[in-house]
Amino acid sequence: MRLVPVLLACAALLSSSPYAFAATDVPAEGTYGFDWLKNPNSTQCVAVTKALIKKFRKCELTDGSFGGDPAKARKCAIDKRSEYMVYESKEACAKALETEKANE
């Protein structure tokens, strides 16, 4: 069974990739997020699409409350200048964005 070592090597290589992250950390299509590294007065909540998900290089679960009520969120980096806070609903996204604006 020479196939097993090859499969194990491929799995190890993929898990060390900068594009690999846990499936549970990837936000679902239809959730909402905003780029919190941008000016809070110019960013807005947007629906997360397949195209946006493909741009994410790293996602992790976080407390995305910005000092307000704790909210379950995912922080997803695209690059050094773009990082989205993603929430389960449009309302949760809007609340977090308003809190960030108030803290600026």
Query: What whole-number distance in Å separates Cα of residue 47 and Cα of residue 26?
Result: 14
Instruction: Give the model confidence (pLDDT) of 52-92 as tens digits.
Output: 999 999 999 887 766 656 678 999 999 999 999 999 999 99
pLDDT at 104: 77
- pLDDT category, 100, cuts 50, 70, 90? confident
Q: Say which residue the tokens 């910005």 belong to.
A: 66
pLDDT at 68: 58
Q: Which element (helix H / strand E) includes 97?
A: helix 90-103
Cβ(103)–Cβ(97) below 8 Å: no
Query: What whole-number distance in Å separates Cα of residue 65 and Cα of residue 103?
Result: 11
Beta-sheet strands, E only, within 13-68? 32-35, 46-47, 58-63
Instruction: Give the model confidence (pLDDT) of 1-57 as tens digits.
Output: 554 444 444 444 444 444 444 556 889 999 999 999 998 889 999 999 999 999 999
